[in-house]
Chain A
Amino acid sequence: MTPDRHTGQPDAEMSEQPLEQRRIIPRPPGEQPTAGRMPPAGDAPPAPAAGDTPAAGTAPSAGDTPAAAPQTVTTPDTVTERQALAEGTPTRTVQLEGLRAFYGRAEQVKGVDLEFKANEVTAIIGPSGCGKSTMIRCINRMHEEIPGARAEGRVLLDGLDVYEHSVDVVAVRRAIGMVFQKPNPFPTMSIFDNVAAGMRLTGMRRRGAELSARVERALVDAGLWDEVSERLSEPGVGLSGGQQQRLCIARSLAVDPEVILMDEPCSALDPVATLKIEELIDDLKQRVTIVIVTHNMQQAARVADRTAFMLDGRLVEAGPTQEIFTNPSDPRTEEYVTGKFG
């Protein structure tokens, strides 16, 4: 395969393309379901697959999903390279509308309306069991992996509902990555393979030098490269906890997500490792929208541009972090951030 990214498969360089081209919306019937695994003819045709995007390159009219016509797609020109993105191209917004989440009959998230703005870090704070984690797991549809769990309402990624019928759940998760509370590198894989796993297993079909380059870039972006560049073939689980968590961040960065959800990413780490991750979050917001759930209010104050306070499955208030911590409008927020409960 030639290294030129724009001659490859339709979803080769995903991040520059509108959501429709990123296969949030699945291919029309007859095409192969797995993204990136196009028939070998792949090299010849230009980016948009037949029938996939009615108007290639421009804000699409989304013919097959009239309900979710995105108005706000800020499509970087297809020529724009990743470097441009790194310099602060707007990332995507996520909007929750009336989001409710259930475990069986128990309602854990009871109707949340909230917007996560592009190029910002939004922290979700609140006492244990208030539904923070459940809520962000609804954003990339990981919630439904739990038997008996389901969600209602809408989660709009740049105006497109990820719960839309025509939306492919796998593509949602590729666009909205996730970092978990405990680092979970794949134990059978080396450091390199852990980072490459997303590309290999999602059919992004990167090989040789290009794969290595992307792995390196993800590790650099995750601030781990200097520590592991000499031992990429060693097992990922041999790293320290903080390194493992940055490895997991690199792993999710490697598939070029638009949004990264972090579910208490530092709660299993020591203060030094925590500081590193926080610095990393600050760098990453240039290119991805970040939502971070945290128990640690100092952490929210340090990393977040905006903060949302949840209580008992409901959003109490959301706003600029400064305001939430110094001048909250709801007395419950004030009690929580001043440590009166929780």
Chain B
Amino acid sequence: MSAAGAAPTPPPAHALLAGGPGLRRRKLVNRTMESTATLAALIAVAVLAIVIVSVLIKGVSAINLDFFIKSPAPIGQSGGGIANSIVGTALLVALASALAVPVGILVGIHTSEFARPSVASSIRFALDILNGVPTIVTGIFVFGLLVVGHVQSGYAGAFALAIIMLPIVARSAHEVLSLVPASLREGSLALGVRRWRTVLRIVVPTAASGMVTGALLAVARVAGETAPLLFTSSIASNLVSTDPSQAFASIPVSIFTLSEEASPAAHAQAWAAALLLIFLVVLLNIVARSVFGRSQARIRRTR
């Protein structure tokens, strides 16, 4: 185009792309924000690392075979282990899972597959509140319900843990069920498969590993719960017990009681018990993640 007097000449490229006066300041702000966020992330990871390392250092000395297979030594004697607590925690968690996982998964199936959206969202709201109830309150509640007038028992402890697990299992079941593509439900319904059968045979199997993940994370969460057990299952025998009508010893409560004792050996055992607990939780999380990764891969293939 010839240089017509009226037409404004377009600015040269270097003027178009130049940042203008605020550029340096904006670059600085950008860099500051980025590094602050990175630092915060590093701090979070560092906290975890410090906890694990310090527990490892203090606890590893007390770890030996006796620690796993022997009951606590009578007062005044050295040695012994926390076998009763390990067995107790395993049984408490197993009983709690037996209560909470089926109910929680059914709740998730209800909210995801059958409930009207308004009903489903109020149920999920209730689950969120239940999830937010302090665990000591849950402990007191179960204490009032099952222990007062009776005795502490493994059943009571497991019931308290189940209350804590329920919302976690239900919410995660709901989430993974809603990840199942609607096209699969339609495909099944269009074959003339009834709704409940579609849910049971098509939707739930597709989401099954995700629900396992949710259950594992819930187990990891309650395995370390102390407060609900203090009122319900803490006055326990030093011997390994498998009778749920008696109170079970448990790893978290043992950490608490051992650390209250005067002897350094008991403190070391408390650290070792803490190390064992952390190891179990980390292990459960890793397993849960790998299971979930596989289920996601499967769902993605149908998208």
Give the interface of A toward B (CB within 8 A).
Answer: 34, 140, 142, 145, 147, 170-175, 177-178, 180, 182, 184-188, 197-198, 201-202, 237, 248, 251-252, 255
Task: Knowing A147-B117, A186-B206 are in contact, say whether A255-B191 is a contact too (CB < 8 A).
Answer: yes
B192 interfacial by beta-carbon distance below 8 Å:
yes
What is the CA–CA distance of A255 and B188 in the complex, to the nearest angstrom?
12
Give the interface of B toward A (CB within 8 A).
Answer: 116-117, 181, 183-194, 197-198, 201-202, 205-206, 208, 298-299, 301-302
Least CB distance from B205 to A in Å reads 4
- What residue in chain A is nearest B192 (Cβ atoms)? A174
Chain A contacts of B190 at CB under 8 A?
140, 142, 173, 177-178, 180, 252
Binding site of B, secondary structure by majority: helix, strand, loop or mixed?
helix
CB–CB A147/B116 < 8 A: yes
Q: Among A175, A180, A188, A201, which residue has its beta carbon within 8 angstroms of that of B193?
A: A201
What is the CA–CA distance of A177 and B190 in the complex, to the nearest angstrom?
6
Least CB distance from B184 to A in Å reads 6
Chain A contacts of B185 at CB under 8 A?
145
28 A–B contacts from the bound complex (CB under 8 Å):
A142-B186, A145-B185, A145-B186, A147-B116, A147-B117, A170-B193, A170-B194, A173-B192, A175-B192, A178-B186, A180-B183, A184-B187, A184-B302, A186-B184, A186-B202, A187-B184, A187-B301, A188-B298, A197-B188, A197-B193, A198-B192, A201-B201, A202-B191, A202-B193, A237-B298, A237-B301, A252-B191, A255-B192
CB–CB B191/A198 < 8 A: yes
What is the CA–CA distance of A172 and B191 in the complex, to the nearest angstrom?
9
Chain B contacts of A174 at CB under 8 A?
191-192
Least CB distance from A33 to B in Å reads 9
What is the CA–CA distance of A234 and B181 in the complex, to the nearest angstrom?
21
Q: Which 6 A-B pairs have the closest CB atoms?
A: A174-B192, A178-B190, A198-B191, A184-B183, A173-B192, A184-B187
Which among B117, B184, B189 has the greatest number of chain A C-beta atoms within 10 A? B189
What is the CA–CA distance of A34 and B192 in the complex, to the nearest angstrom?
11
Q: Among A145, A185, A251, which residue has its beta carbon within 8 angstroms of that of B302?
A: A185
Chain A contacts of B189 at CB under 8 A?
142, 145, 173
List 5 additional A-B contacts (Cβ < 8 Å) besides A186-B188, A197-B188. Answer: A34-B194, A182-B183, A186-B187, A201-B193, A202-B193
Task: Knowing A182-B183, A237-B301 are in contact, say whether A188-B191 is a contact too (CB < 8 A).
Answer: no
CB–CB A180/B299 < 8 A: no
Chain B contacts of A170 at CB under 8 A?
192-194
What is the CA–CA distance of A145 and B201 in the complex, to the nearest angstrom?
18
What is the CA–CA distance of A173 and B187 in the complex, to the nearest angstrom?
11
What is the CA–CA distance of A202 and B205 in the complex, to the nearest angstrom?
17
- What residue in chain A is nearest B201 (Cβ atoms)? A201
Chain A contacts of B116 at CB under 8 A?
147
Least CB distance from A157 to B in Å reads 13
Chain A contacts of B193 at CB under 8 A?
170, 197-198, 201-202
CB–CB B183/A173 < 8 A: no
Least CB distance from A125 to B in Å reads 22
CB–CB A251/B191 < 8 A: yes
What is the CA–CA distance of A62 and B277 in the complex, to the nearest angstrom?
69
CB–CB A184/B181 < 8 A: yes
Least CB distance from A80 to B in Å reads 23
- What residue in chain B is nearest A33 (Cβ atoms)? B194
What is the CA–CA distance of A11 and B117 in the complex, to the nearest angstrom?
37
Chain B contacts of A186 at CB under 8 A?
184, 187-188, 202, 206
What is the CA–CA distance of A34 and B189 in the complex, to the nearest angstrom?
14
Which among B194, B201, B205, B206 has the greatest number of chain A C-beta atoms within 10 A? B194
What is the CA–CA distance of A62 and B117 in the complex, to the nearest angstrom?
39
Least CB distance from A7 to B in Å reads 23
What is the CA–CA distance of A198 and B193 in the complex, to the nearest angstrom?
7
- What residue in chain A is nearest B302 (Cβ atoms)? A187
Least CB distance from A31 to B in Å reads 16
